[in-house]
Amino acid sequence: MKVFSTAAEVNEHYSNCGLMNPGFVPTMGALHEGHLSLAETAVRECRMVAVSIFVNPTQFNDPEDLRKYPRTLDADLQMLSPLLREDDLVFTPTVGEMYPEPDNRVFDFGNLDKVMEGIHRQGHFNGVAQVVSRLFDIIKPSRAFFGQKDYQQLTIIRELARRYYPGTEIVSCPIIRESDGLAMSSRNRRLLPSHRERAGEIFRTLVAAAAMIKDYDPVEIKEFVIDRINMIPDYRIEYFEIVEDGTLAPVSSRKEMSPDRLYYACIALFAGGVRLIDNIEVRLR
Ligand code: PAF
């Protein structure tokens, strides 16, 4: 595997190896099994793969969150090296390489960035769109692989690609979970042991919520989820919504839902000072 930190090096590599338009796995590093499974899928399905590692400052609305974001480049490269092949590459740009000038672009995704994360992390998705479009411009991927855990992000990136990168297929990959159901995330390593011990409760609550749709309206399920999460010592729910797949329109009663459509129950919460998100598919039948 090759490691490059500039767009010029990536282009030169494409010329040297006679390949371009790789399968692409964008990450912010602090890699875990979830990222590795994205990279493995990309390697299985694409002749060449690029993985980027870049902690993007424009998607953090909280400077403290940006400061605390784990940065583990050496360990990340060690994890990738057995998976990636000779011509595969890891792109590790600096902030200056990514943003030689301030990126003032403002994206409007309609409702997609006005709900859930969009309410609680103002400007977050604009920053994600900025960095993903910049990365797509540099890497020029034929396919890009994203985890389903960041379900709202995935939906917004699909829209970004539909509008501006029709040649890039967005591939959604399943959530990888710990044995107790906790969705893998770079933030999990910041959980205190007492918070980590109870974290399996998040997925168990989502599973229960998804099953409840047979008998209860989303508004009632929401109350159940809020109570159950807030009962865990030092846990605080930020939001729980059941939204329609694709439009992200929140639903509050089963009358608004169609048996032919797919929905997602999405949650964000704080376990102590660590913010976690997760989601599960919900179907009326
Ligand atoms: O999901 C992430 O890790 C980031 O939001 C992404 C897509 C790499 C953009 O910085």
What is the 217 CA–ligand 1 centroid distance (Å)?
33
In this prediction, residue 276 carries a pLDDT of 97
| Residue 285, pLDDT above cutoff 90 | no
> Hey, what are 215's tokens?
């008998």
Range of 265's domain?
Answer: 186-282
Domain for residue 178, yes or no?
A: no
Q: Which of 173, 207, 229 is the last residue of a domain?
A: 173
Atom of ligand 1 nearest to the CA of 27: 8
> Using one digit for the tens of pLDDT, what is the confidence trace for 102-127?
999 999 999 999 999 999 999 999 99
Write the single-letter amino acid at 213. Answer: I
Domain for residue 82, yes or no?
A: yes
What is the 28 CA–ligand 1 centroid distance (Å)?
6
Beta-bridge mates of residue 51: 25, 90
Taking residues 172-198, what's their average pLDDT?
97
CATH code: domain of residue 44: 3.40.50.620
Say yes or no: 23 and 105 in one domain. Answer: yes
DSSP-derived 3-state class of residue 139? helix
Say yes or no: 148 and 220 in one domain. Answer: no
Q: How does the average pLDDT of the chain come out, rounded?
A: 97
Tokens 């329609």 correspond to what residue?
244
pTM score? 0.96
Domain for residue 179, yes or no?
A: no
Q: Closest Cα to atom 6, ligand 1: which residue?
A: 27
Say yes or no: 167 and 215 in one domain. Answer: no
Domain for residue 202, yes or no?
A: yes
Say yes or no: 58 and 198 in one domain. Answer: no
Cα–Cα distance between 278 and 212 in angstroms, integer? 17
Pocket of ligand 1 (CB under 6 A): 26-28, 56, 59, 128, 131-132, 150, 153
124 labelled catalytic: no
Q: Closest Cα to atom 8, ligand 1: which residue?
A: 27
Which helix (H) or strand (E) segment holds residue 144: the answer is strand 143-147
Backbone φ and ψ for 24, nearest 5 degrees, come out as -125, 135
Q: Which of 35, 120, 124, 195 is catalytic?
A: 35
User: In total, how many domains does the chain have?
Assistant: 2
Q: Which of 142, 173, 204 is the last residue of a domain?
A: 173
> Hey, what are 122's tokens?
């103002």
> Using one digit for the tens of pLDDT, what is the confidence trace for 45-57?
999 999 999 999 9
Reported for 119-123, long-range contacts at CB under 8 A and 24+ positions apart, including other chains, are 119/239, 120/238, 120/239, 120/268, 121/61, 121/62, 122/61, 123/58, 123/59, 123/61
